[in-house]
């Protein structure tokens, strides 16, 4: 038994009791105790080496296994499912579309639960919504909207012109999300139960498009509910349940007024923040469609007949903002050097190759787009020249800090650090919580470089606002933007915006890393899910799923 | 055998080995005796490699860590990249090497903090003012059940993810644990005759603590601190994954593990390496503590005893018998105070 | 015993107060403002101010603290600023995932740890002993994240080598679908349980080893039991107070593993709720959740201490002796 104890304890771990036991055979004047002293090290114990080699063998086994398991194809036909589960990534924290920012709410609610005066199509053009038709006065100051007849909210209240008026007035009075976009708003009134007249103090080219977003949403003035947890609108779907960060269940409204009746009775939206979780959910059939699916992970669906994968166009711009008043970045040579130093094609390749290079502030789906990618091609030599002109060199390396929110992951920061290093810029990358970013960068403008995915559409106004966190103050751009908004001709407006965008890009006010294109993957048999713009506009009434 | 015969160690008997052997000589004997057993050899090799890699990575890595290549992401191991590349095309081996420095720093700092905190608490616990000692004992009991991650979260809210969060959260938790485990031994030593006589001859209590109590608890300390180092490596991985540990942009094993998690479906291999490294090192640390405990203690290491004896003929003196007599009376005390320490740190939970 | 209990209770309350203050202060020095997060990038200052007023962020700090604590003591954990839901009800919903997960994990750990620990302690061949020793050490040295990943790669439905179990998410209907709900928790429970089980195994082994060499087991054998019988009937019973303590504290420390698992397996439990709320700067939610967790674990510690004292026969003996003296 004593031998037993020695065997057990001699190389046991850690514990106080063990410690006691291990010390037991101390030399002592007591001969009996001394007699029991035995050498501790009893022969070679090869176990750890065996375990190590086992682990290494395991490693080898995994390296031979690529983790791809094909599935059998499924024939067309079969039953139409009465429920479809959609996997999305970013969950809205609450449903208060008037106060809570973020496109996750637009994506979920606009067009599905809430509806606006006008709507958008998948190419970002304005289409009729609650308003059947509208006309604009010659001087661009008076907009008259004619509402559809028989519109009902999901609580069966009729939607009248007065609801529209109250919604827009409430928006302006409460400074709700979208109110700042109704430039020159003067008044809105109901001339009869189906006609709304909106007047502006000065022409505003973007008004209709803005009304297709949050600014134009119409709420039931007689309904009282907690907007953070419930939603009552006139759209084709009713919000049945909302579990924050987890799921939303939408039920088709059987009494929906419009012609775009929902084709699937129940749609469950699940928020899968973890990319792997999302891919597994699609593969195992927990969700039938996934948007976005990380491009690098989409490859496993591409050659599989069970799944369809498609990239959609979008207006997401990954902007590397450069502080116009930063210690070093106020020097245009530094900003230009940074633009030359960045290899956009490599960035895009590392992300799977579906994104598109973007040379300026306006993406292809927005008015005023033109291809500006030729302005600053990848040219490290040129970057080094510009830096040395600005007074930096091997003895005096330029040190910059890149601050961005942790939602974008560390990869982009690592890559920028590596690329800028090659031209002699030391980048200190700080990845912070979004709220810290808001405080330091957005509010206090205390930064050199920052990285944000500006997903908003029609957001060129950022460059015409000298108080925005870019600290970009160019009178010519501001003037062009004002003109573009004030003109009543869409073509003129586009031309002026394009002109302004070229100046912003030339000034290297920022670098536009790429235009993020959302990859959507779905099970074969699913149809009608929007592919373009689906991160901000996801009408679900056409979605059907035919089980194989 | 009866309960009194449980061969409790002769606490205080270590004072019988003042030794004339110099520190280096002692180290040589200690290392040699550790080298003899395979599991201890393994732990020595891994730890030496850890330290070596940490130092080397400050000056050299196979590929500079800030070298990315967007065209060569998630590559399988090759001649250029021995362990392949990650999602930015950076070299995984280089990142692991660079990470070893961060993890070494975290472990050392956490161990240092927990050691200092633990000993301070023990000092208060064996203090002769019973008010102080009672309060501290119960306070430690009350706080010991707070999980490390909770403290880390509280700290991370204002500080953001940082090394300090990991170090403080680990150091605090392990310090409490250490105090709880060391207390019984320290108490026994405090009640021993030689401490009493030192006290009577007017030696200050701080001095007594340093010269008599600390040497007596060194074996437990070795085991505990070494294991804390291992647990802190695991904690770093867990906390970094949860977003409250090492900030991104700083290489660490937790960071490597976290970034590779994203793509396990497509590139399962990349997640293997950091996990393997962490496991190997933590195993080594666990083995190392035990090995060191056995090896530095002349009571359990005959080789060291012989060396000490050879160095100073007069070193061997009889152990005070009174201590062992005292032990039996204090058995229930030991048991009661000792029970929880074990579970706290021992069970790795990350 | 009564004195011990009193002292312990007072300390429990004091520790909780201290922690509540720590949590409150930690959450106030942080940069960033939940109103600004909610208002978004293009928000005019009026909107931010209005939101801040609505959320009660314009009260003084002592006021906020006292309001919070008094509500907390009344059982009102407040409402999340962002979702406007009662935090208590959210915690209740989330706990339905986290606590079963902890219990399952603990079950796995005990089922693995205690039998294996006993077997290891009773094993006579040195080979078996060193094998079990190493297995326990290696098992306890694996990061939970990694063990979870390995389990996913092996057993996850859809992507694993042997696709058996779901590895992502929890059924939408929760425990109304008991089969699916349980299946969703198996892999996460295994990934935390195995690691913790290794620790328990190690502990059981050393504890039982001690008991084996104590007189009690010898006594049992003298009375005609076999060594195994004596060890399990007498040794294990004597070791049970310590085992209770270990299990209690293990539960406390398992929470990190559980949080990692929840994130990895996309389970909407308390851990992932806490992490999300910290990210969103949802102050009322974060502070109440943190305090609730702290209270829970402090209470667990208290419970463990008291149980330990109650069931330890030697302590009872000592206590009686004390009385007799």
Q: Tens of pLDDT along A305-363?
A: 999 999 999 999 999 999 999 999 999 999 999 999 999 999 999 988 889 999 999 99
Element (H, E) at C309: helix C283-311
Sheet bearing A142-147, strands edge to edge: A131-136, A142-147, A195-200, A185-192
Q: Is A19 a residue whose pLDDT tops 50?
A: no
Mean per-residue pLDDT, A145-155 = 94
In this complex, which of A46, A296, A418 lies closest to B66 when CB atoms are compared? A418
The residue whose two tokens read 């990845």 is A431
Q: What is the mean pLDDT of residues C23-44?
A: 74
Q: Which residues of B touch C293 (CB under 8 A)?
A: 150
Token pair belonging to C154: 């092996």
At B299, is the pLDDT very low, low, confident or very high (cuts 50, 70, 90)? confident
CB proximity B339 to A under 8 Å: no
pLDDT higher than threshold 50 for residue B332: no
Asked if the C-beta of C146 comes within 8 angstroms of chain A's C-beta atoms, the answer is: no
Say yes or no: B342 contacts chain C, CB-CB below 8 A. yes
State the count of interchain CB pairs (< 8 A) between A and B.
Answer: 209
Average of pLDDT values for A107-121? 95
Confidence class of residue C74 from pLDDT cuts 50, 70 and 90?
confident
Using the predicted structure, report yes or no on whether residue B318 has a pLDDT greater than 60. Answer: no
Instruction: Report the alpha-carbon distance of residue B27 to residue B37 in Å, rounded.
Output: 17
For residues B103 and B50, what is the distance between their CA atoms, to the nearest angstrom? 9
Residues 236-295 on B with a CB inside 8 Å of A are: 243, 247-249, 255, 259, 261-269, 272-273, 276, 279-280, 283, 286-287, 289-291, 293-294
Number of C-beta neighbours around residue C154 at 10 A: 14
A485/A463 Cα distance (integer angstroms)? 14
- Residue written as token pair 């021992």: B346
Alpha-helical (H) ranges within B192-316 are 193-200, 205-208, 214-241, 253-261, 269-296, 302-311
Q: Which residue has the higher pLDDT, C235 or A252?
A: A252
A350 to chain B, minimum CA–CA distance in Å?
4
Give the range with max mean pLDDT: A35-44, B232-241, C256-265.
B232-241
pLDDT of residue C285: 86
Q: What is the ipTM of this complex?
A: 0.86
Q: Is A36 on the interface with C (CB under 8 A)?
A: no
Q: Tell me whether residues C133 and A435 touch, CB distance under 8 A.
A: no
Residue A185 has pLDDT above 90, yes or no: yes
Q: Above 60 in pLDDT, residue A17?
A: no
Confidence bin at A40 (pLDDT 50/70/90)? very low
The three-state secondary structure class of C224 is: coil
Are the C-beta atoms of B348 and C255 separated by less than 8 Å? no
pLDDT over 90 percentage in chain B: 29
Which positions in chain A touch C184 (Cβ < 8 Å)? none
Kindly state which CATH superfamily the domain B36-297 is placed in: MetI-like (1.10.3720.10)
Mean pLDDT of C17-31: 82
Name the DSSP class of C31: S
pLDDT of amino acid A46: 59
Residue A160: per-residue pLDDT: 93
Summarize pLDDT for B178-213 with one digit per residue, the tens. Answer: 998 888 888 888 888 888 888 888 888 788 888 888
Q: What is the pLDDT of residue A339?
A: 96
Q: Name residues whose C-beta falls within 8 Å of residue C184's C-beta, 6 or more positions apart in sequence.
A: C166, C169, C170, C171, C265, C267
In A, which residues are within 8 Å of C167 by CB distance?
Answer: 277, 280
User: How do strand A126-128 and strand A131-136 relate by DSSP bridges?
Assistant: unpaired
Interatomic CA distance for residues B125 and B112, integer angstroms? 20
Cα distance between residue C66 and residue C81, in whole Å? 18
Across A164-178, C91-105, C108-122, C156-170, least confident range? C156-170
pTM for this entry? 0.80
Whether residue B332 and residue C134 make contact (CB cut-off 8 A), yes or no, is no
Q: What is the mean pLDDT of chain A?
A: 86
Mean pLDDT in residue range A129-152: 95
Determine how β-strand A266-271 pairs with β-strand A83-88. Answer: parallel
Q: How confident is the model over A52-56, as a mean pLDDT? A: 64
DSSP secondary-structure letter at B312? -
Query: Sign of the CA dihedral C118, C121, C122, C127?
Result: positive
Q: Which of A81, A161, A106 is nearest to A544 (CA)?
A: A81
Q: Is the pLDDT of residue B266 over 80?
A: no
The pLDDT value given to residue C80: 80
pLDDT at A57 (0 to 100): 67
At C86 the three-state DSSP class reads strand
Percent of chain A topping pLDDT 70: 86
pLDDT at A262: 94
Per the model's pLDDT, the better-predicted residue between A8 and A516 turns out to be: A516
**Interface list for A 77-106 with C (CB within 8 A):** 93-94, 96, 99-102
Tokens coding C229: 């019988």
Q: Cβ–Cβ of A48/B287 closer than 8 Å? A: yes
What average pLDDT is seen over chain C?
82
Cα(A104)–Cα(A119) distance, integer angstroms: 17
User: What DSSP designation does B319 have?
Assistant: P
Which uninterrupted H or E stretch holds A515?
Answer: strand A510-523
Cβ atoms of A429 and A414 within 8 Å: the answer is: yes
A166-170, A266-270, B246-250: which range is least confident on average?
Answer: B246-250
The Cα-based distances of B149 to A116, B114, B235 in angstroms read 46, 16, 8
pLDDT in tens, A479-521: 999 999 999 999 999 999 999 999 999 999 999 999 999 999 9
Interchain CB distance below 8 Å, B268 and A67:
yes
Residue ranges and CATH numbers for the domains of chain A are 80-113+235-306+524-547 (3.40.190.10), 116-216 (3.90.76.10), 316-517 (3.10.105.10)
pLDDT in tens, A76-101: 456 889 999 999 998 888 899 999 88
Q: What is the mean pLDDT of chain B?
A: 79
Of the pLDDT bands very low, low, confident and very high (cuts 50, 70, 90), residue C240 is confident
**Higher-pLDDT residue of B329, B70:** B70
pLDDT at A48 over 90: no
Does A465 touch chain C if contact means CB atoms closer than 8 Å? Answer: no
pLDDT on residue C315: 56
Contacts of A89 in chain B (CB under 8 A): none
| CA distance linking residue A397 with residue A344, whole number of Å | 23
Give me the count of residues in chain B: 350
Q: Is the pLDDT of residue A292 over 60?
A: yes
Cα–Cα dist A27/A41, whole Å:
17
CA distances, C83 to each of A91, A268, A334, B8, C259 (Å): 12, 19, 44, 60, 22
Strand partners, A197: A144, A189
At residue A340, the pLDDT reads 96
**Tokens matching residue A253:** 């409204």
Rg of chain C taking only CA atoms, in angstroms: 24
Residues 251-270 in C contacting A (C-alpha not used; CB under 8 Å)? 263-266, 268
Whether the predicted pLDDT of B315 surpasses 50: no
Cβ–Cβ contact C45 with A under 8 A:
no
On the question of pLDDT at A206 being above 50, the answer is: yes
CB contact under 8 A, A348 and B67: no
Measured CA to CA, the distance from residue C146 to residue C113 in angstroms comes to 20
Give the C-alpha separation, A106 to A536, whole Å: 5
Name the band, by pLDDT with cuts 50, 70 and 90, for residue B334: very low
Do the strands A142-147 and A131-136 form a parallel or antiparallel pair, or are they unpaired? Answer: antiparallel
Segment of A36-45, A435-444, A453-462 carrying the highest mean pLDDT: A453-462
Mean pLDDT of the C184-200 span: 91
For each of the domains in chain C, give its residue range(s) and CATH number, in order of start. 32-76 (no CATH), 93-322 (1.10.3720.10)
Q: Give the mean model confidence (pLDDT) for residues A279-300.
A: 87
B153 interaction partners in chain A (CB closer than 8 Å): none
Is residue A399 pLDDT above 50, yes or no?
yes
Question: What mean pLDDT comes out for the span C276-300?
Answer: 85
């Amino acid at each position: 038994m004593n031998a037993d104890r020695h065997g057990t304890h001699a190389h046991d771990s850690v514990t106080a009791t063990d410690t006691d036991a291990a010390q037991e055979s101390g030399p002592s004047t007591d001969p009996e105790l001394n007699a029991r002293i035995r050498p501790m090290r009893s022969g070679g114990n090869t176990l750890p080496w065996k375990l190590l080699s086992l682990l290494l063998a395991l490693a080898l086994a995994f390296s031979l296994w690529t983790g791809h398991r094909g599935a059998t194809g499924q024939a067309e036909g079969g039953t139409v499912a009465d429920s479809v589960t959609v996997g999305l990534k970013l969950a809205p924290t609450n449903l208060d579309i008037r106060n809570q920012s973020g496109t996750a709410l637009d994506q979920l609610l606009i067009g599905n639960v809430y509806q606006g005066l006008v709507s958008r199509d998948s190419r970002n053009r304005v289409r009729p919504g609650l308003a059947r038709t509208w006309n604009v006065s010659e001087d661009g100051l008076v907009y008259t909207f004619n509402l559809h007849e028989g519109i009902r909210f999901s609580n069966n209240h009729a939607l009248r012109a007065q609801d529209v008026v109250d919604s827009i007035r409430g928006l302006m009075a409460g400074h709700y999300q979208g109110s700042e976009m109704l430039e020159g708003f003067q008044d809105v009134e109901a001339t009869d139960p189906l006609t709304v007249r909106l007047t502006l103090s000065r022409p505003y080219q973007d008004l209709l498009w803005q009304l297709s977003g949050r600014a134009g949403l119409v709420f039931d003035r007689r309904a009282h509910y907690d907007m953070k947890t419930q939603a009552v609108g006139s759209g084709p779907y009713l919000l049945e349940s909302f579990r924050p960060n987890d799921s939303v269940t939408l039920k088709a409204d059987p009494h929906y007024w419009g012609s775009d009746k929902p084709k699937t009775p129940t749609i469950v939206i699940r928020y899968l923040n973890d990319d792997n979780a999302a891919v597994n959910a699609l593969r195992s059939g927990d969700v039938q469609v996934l948007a976005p699916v990380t491009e690098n992970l989409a490859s496993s669906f591409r050659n599989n007949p069970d799944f369809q994968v498609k990239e959609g166009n979008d207006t997401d711009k990954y902007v590397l903002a450069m502080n116009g008043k930063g210690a070093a970045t106020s020097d245009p040579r530094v900003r230009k050097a940074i633009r030359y130093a960045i290899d956009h094609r490599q960035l895009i390749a590392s992300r799977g190759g579906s994104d598109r290079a973007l040379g300026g502030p306006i993406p292809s789906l927005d008015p005023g787009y033109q291809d500006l990618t030729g302005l600053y091609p990848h040219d490290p030599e040129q970057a080094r020249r510009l830096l040395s002109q600005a007074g930096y060199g091997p003895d005096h390396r330029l040190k910059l800090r890149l601050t961005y929110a942790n939602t974008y992951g560390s990869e982009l920061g690592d890559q920028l650090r590596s690329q800028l290093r090659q031209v002699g810029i030391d980048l200190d990358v700080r990845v912070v919580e979004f709220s810290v970013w808001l405080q330091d960068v957005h509010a206090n403008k205390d930064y050199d470089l920052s990285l944000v995915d500006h997903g908003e559409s029609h957001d060129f106004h950022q460059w015409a606002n000298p108080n925005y966190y870019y600290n970009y103050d160019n009178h010519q751009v501001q003037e062009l933007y004002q003109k573009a908004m004030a003109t009543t001709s869409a073509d003129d407006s586009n031309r002026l915006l394009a002109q302004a965008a070229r100046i912003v890009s030339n000034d290297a006010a920022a670098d536009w890393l790429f235009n993020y294109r959302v990859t959507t993957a779905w099970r074969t048999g699913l149809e009608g899910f929007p592919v373009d713009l689906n991160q901000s506009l996801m009408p679900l009434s056409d979605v059907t799923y035919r089980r194989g | 055998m009866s309960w009194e015969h449980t061969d409790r160690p002769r606490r205080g008997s270590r004072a019988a080995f003042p030794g004339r052997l110099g520190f280096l000589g002692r180290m040589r004997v200690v290392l040699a005796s550790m080298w003899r057993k395979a599991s201890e050899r393994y732990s020595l090799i891994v730890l030496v490699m850890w330290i070596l890699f940490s130092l080397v990575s400050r000056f050299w890595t196979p590929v500079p860590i800030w070298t990315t290549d967007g065209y060569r992401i998630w590559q399988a191991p090759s001649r250029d990249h021995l362990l392949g590349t990650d999602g930015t095309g950076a070299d995984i081996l280089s990142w692991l090497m660079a990470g070893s420095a961060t993890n070494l720093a975290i472990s050392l700092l956490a161990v240092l903090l927990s050691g200092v905190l633990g000993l301070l608490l023990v000092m208060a616990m064996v203090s002769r003012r019973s008010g102080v000692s009672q309060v501290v004992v119960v306070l430690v009991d009350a706080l010991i059940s707070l999980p490390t991650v909770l403290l880390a979260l509280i700290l991370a809210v204002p500080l953001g993810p940082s090394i300090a969060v990991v170090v403080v959260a680990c150091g605090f938790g392990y310090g409490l644990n250490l105090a709880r485990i060391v207390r019984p031994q320290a108490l026994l030593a405090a009640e021993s005759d030689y401490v009493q006589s030192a006290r009577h001859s007017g030696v200050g209590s701080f001095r007594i603590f340093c010269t008599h109590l600390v040497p007596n608890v060194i074996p437990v300390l070795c085991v505990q601190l070494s294991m804390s180092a291992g647990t802190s490596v695991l904690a770093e991985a867990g906390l970094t994954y949860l977003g409250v540990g090492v900030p991104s942009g700083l290489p660490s094993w937790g960071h490597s593990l976290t970034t590779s998690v994203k793509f396990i479906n497509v590139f399962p291999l990349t997640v293997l390496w950091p996990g393997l490294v962490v496991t190997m090192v933590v195993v080594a640390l666990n083995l190392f503590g035990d090995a060191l405990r056995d090896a530095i203690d002349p009571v359990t290491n005959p080789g060291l005893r012989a060396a000490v004896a050879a160095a100073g003929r007069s070193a061997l003196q009889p152990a005070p018998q009174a201590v062992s007599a005292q032990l039996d009376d204090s058995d229930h005390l030991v048991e009661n105070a000792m029970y929880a320490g074990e579970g706290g740190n021992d069970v790795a939970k990350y | 015993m009564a004195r011990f209990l009193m002292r312990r209770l007072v300390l429990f309350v004091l520790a909780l107060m201290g922690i509540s203050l720590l949590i409150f202060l930690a959450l106030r020095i942080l940069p960033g403002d939940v109103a600004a997060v909610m208002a978004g990038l293009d928000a005019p200052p009026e909107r931010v101010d209005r939101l801040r007023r609505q959320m009660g962020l314009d009260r003084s700090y002592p006021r906020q603290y006292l309001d919070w604590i008094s509500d907390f003591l009344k059982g009102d954990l407040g409402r999340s600023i962002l979702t406007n839901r009662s935090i208590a009800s959210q915690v209740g919903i989330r706990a339905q995932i986290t606590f079963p997960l902890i219990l399952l994990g603990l079950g796995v750990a005990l089922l693995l740890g205690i039998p294996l620990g006993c077997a290891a302690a009773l094993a006579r061949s040195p080979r078996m002993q060193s094998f079990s020793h190493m297995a326990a050490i290696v098992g306890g040295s694996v990061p939970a994240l990694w063990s979870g990943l390995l389990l996913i790669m092996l057993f996850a439905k859809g992507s694993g080598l042997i696709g058996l179990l779901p590895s992502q998410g929890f059924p939408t209907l929760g425990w109304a679908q008991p089969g699916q709900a349980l299946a969703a928790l198996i892999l996460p429970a295994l990934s935390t349980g195995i690691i913790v089980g290794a620790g328990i195994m190690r502990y059981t082994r050393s504890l039982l080893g001690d008991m084996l060499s104590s007189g009690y087991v010898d006594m049992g054998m003298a009375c005609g039991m076999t060594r195994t019988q004596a060890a399990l009937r007498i040794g294990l019973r004597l070791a049970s107070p310590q085992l209770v303590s270990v299990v209690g504290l293990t539960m406390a420390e398992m929470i990190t593993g559980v949080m990692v698992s929840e994130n990895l397996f996309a389970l909407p439990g308390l851990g992932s709720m806490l992490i999300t709320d910290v990210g969103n700067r949802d102050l009322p939610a974060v502070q109440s959740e943190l305090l609730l967790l702290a209270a829970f674990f402090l209470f667990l510690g208290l419970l463990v201490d008291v149980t330990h004292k109650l069931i330890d026969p030697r302590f009872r003996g000592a206590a009686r002796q004390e009385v007799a003296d």
